[in-house]
């Protein structure tokens, strides 16, 4: 009897040891297009929390172009990873990324930017977590409309900077969502100006927006929309550089990471009026966890998860962040 108990006990110990040894062998890549952007830093941070919890290894790689994506995937394959999550620098790399992942026997999930095929349609077989872009864009448009009304402006005379990055579907959905609400609230289609950015960062948005402002010097009041906080901050910086006062500018971004927070912390309000905070916790922690479950337990992730956002302004952003569990 005693012998049996000992044997069972030993068996249990062996099983536990085997499981944890397996967890330690799991290696998951997290590849992002713009590692310097606070949003992606936060995604990595929360993915790391999942890695600590489950005991797997997280390999963080920045890949700013197609070539770097290719070598990142090969590299993950060579170091024995079993899967990776990627926010690609270019959604058109889709079929190439899928092929590379297969060649390296890596499971693949995408985050933020959804891969498209040669026909421009999303690759629906690849599990994806993104934001509910149109809805979040609409929240941006509503926040701007409300503030413009509050300031007593005539929306028909207000200029709209549409910081655009039209090669990225989620970017189009976000700005179009915002513009649909602006138009419904009396903004004039003729006063909406495209500011195409070469890259999704503040500098590119600043350059593109400056051109728009210089060409339309007759317009006195401006609002700005874009795919993220960096885009809207670029537009706001452009208004400052051509001498438009903050009280004549209403920009609302999307993101809510440090780029926005640092702006809210400035002693006086700028034209960056608000942001729709999205959740790097869900995008980082959940995708990493889902990938782990897929590798360790064969549990395939849902094909499409869309996350929500919540508007935050200068005076309530701390409460909203707390609410979302990203303090």
Q: Order of strands, edge to edge, in the sheet holding 128-131?
A: 57-62, 27-32, 83-87, 107-111, 128-131, 304-307
260 near ligand GLA (CB under 6 A): no
Q: 167-172 contacts: CB < 8 A, separation 24 or more?
A: 167/90, 167/91, 167/92, 168/91, 168/113, 168/200, 168/227, 169/91, 169/114, 169/116, 169/122, 169/133, 170/112, 170/113, 170/114, 170/130, 170/131, 170/133, 170/227, 171/200, 171/226, 171/227
201 near ligand GLA (CB under 6 A): no
Q: Order of strands, edge to edge, in the sheet holding 222-225?
A: 192-196, 159-164, 222-225, 249-255, 272-277, 310-313
84 near ligand GLA (CB under 6 A): no
227 near ligand GLA (CB under 6 A): yes
113 near ligand GLA (CB under 6 A): yes
Considering the complex, state which of residue 112 and residue 176 has its C-beta at the smaller distance from ligand GLA: 112
Smallest separation (angstroms) from ligand GLA to the CB of 283: 6
The count of C-alpha atoms lying within 13 angstroms of the C-alpha of 326, restricted to the half-sphere facing its C-beta, is: 27
Question: Residues 240 to 259: which contact ligand GLA by CB under 6 A?
Answer: 254-255
SS3 state at 271: coil
Considering the complex, state which of residue 100 and residue 128 has its C-beta at the smaller distance from ligand GLA: 128
Pairing of strands 272-277, 57-62: unpaired
User: Angle, nearest 10°, between helix axes 287-297 and 38-54?
Assistant: 40
202 near ligand GLA (CB under 6 A): no
263 near ligand GLA (CB under 6 A): no
Pairing of strands 272-277, 310-313: antiparallel
Considering the complex, state which of residue 109 and residue 244 has its C-beta at the smaller distance from ligand GLA: 109
Per-residue DSSP letter, 302: P
287 near ligand GLA (CB under 6 A): no
173 near ligand GLA (CB under 6 A): no
309 near ligand GLA (CB under 6 A): no
39 near ligand GLA (CB under 6 A): yes
Q: Of how many residues is the chain composed?
A: 327
Site string for ligand GLA, 125-164 (x = CB under 6 A): -----xx---------------------------------
Please name the residue that has the structure tokens 């999550």. Answer: 85
Q: Which of 251, 273, 141, 161 minimizes the C-alpha distance to 213?
A: 161
200 near ligand GLA (CB under 6 A): yes
Smallest separation (angstroms) from ligand GLA to the CB of 215: 26
Smallest separation (angstroms) from ligand GLA to the CB of 32: 8
44 near ligand GLA (CB under 6 A): no
Considering the complex, state which of residue 158 and residue 178 has its C-beta at the smaller distance from ligand GLA: 178
83 near ligand GLA (CB under 6 A): no
State which of residues 58, 73, 87, 204 lies at the interface with ligand GLA (CB under 6 A).
Answer: 87
Site residues (vs ligand GLA, CB under 6 A): 37, 39, 87, 112-113, 130-131, 170, 200, 227-228, 254-255, 278
């Amino acid at each position: 009897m005693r012998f049996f108990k000992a044997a069972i006990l030993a068996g249990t110990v062996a099983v536990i040891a085997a499981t944890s040894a397996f967890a330690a062998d799991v290696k998951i890549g997290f590849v992002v297009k713009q590692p310097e952007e606070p949003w992606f830093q936060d995604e990595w941070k929360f993915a790391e929390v999942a890695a600590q919890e489950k005991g797997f290894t997280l390999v963080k790689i920045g890949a700013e172009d197609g070539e770097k994506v290719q070598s990142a995937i090969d590299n993950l394959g060579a170091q024995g990873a079993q899967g990776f999550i990627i926010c690609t620098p270019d959604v058109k790399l889709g079929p190439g990324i899928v092929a590379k992942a297969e060649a390296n026997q890596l499971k693949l999930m995408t985050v933020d930017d959804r891969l498209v095929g040669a026909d421009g349609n999303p690759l629906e077989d690849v599990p994806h977590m993104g934001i509910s872009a149109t809805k979040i864009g609409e929240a941006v448009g509503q926040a701007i409309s409300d503030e413009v009304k509050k300031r007593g402006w005539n929306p028909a005379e207000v200029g709209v900077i549409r910081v655009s990055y039209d090669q990225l579907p989620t970017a189009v959905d976000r700005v179009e969502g915002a513009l649909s609400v602006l138009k419904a609230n009396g903004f004039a289609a003729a006063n909406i100006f495209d500011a195409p950015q070469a890259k999704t960062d503040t500098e590119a948005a600043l350059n593109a927006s400056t051109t728009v402002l210089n060409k339309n010097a007759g317009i006195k009041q401006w609002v700005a929309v874009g795919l993220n906080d960096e885009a809207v901050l670029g537009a706001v910086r452009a208004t400052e550089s051509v001498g438009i006062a903050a009280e004549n500018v209403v920009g609302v971004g999307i993101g809510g990471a440090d780029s926005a927070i640092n702006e809210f912390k400035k002693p006086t309000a700028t034209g960056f009026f608000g942001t729709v905070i999205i959740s790097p916790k869900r995008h980082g922690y959940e995708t990493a966890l889902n990938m782990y479950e897929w590798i360790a337990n064969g549990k395939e992730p849902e094909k499409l998860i869309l996350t929500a956002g919540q508007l935050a302004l200068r005076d309530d952003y701390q409460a909203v962040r707390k609410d979302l569990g990203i303090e």
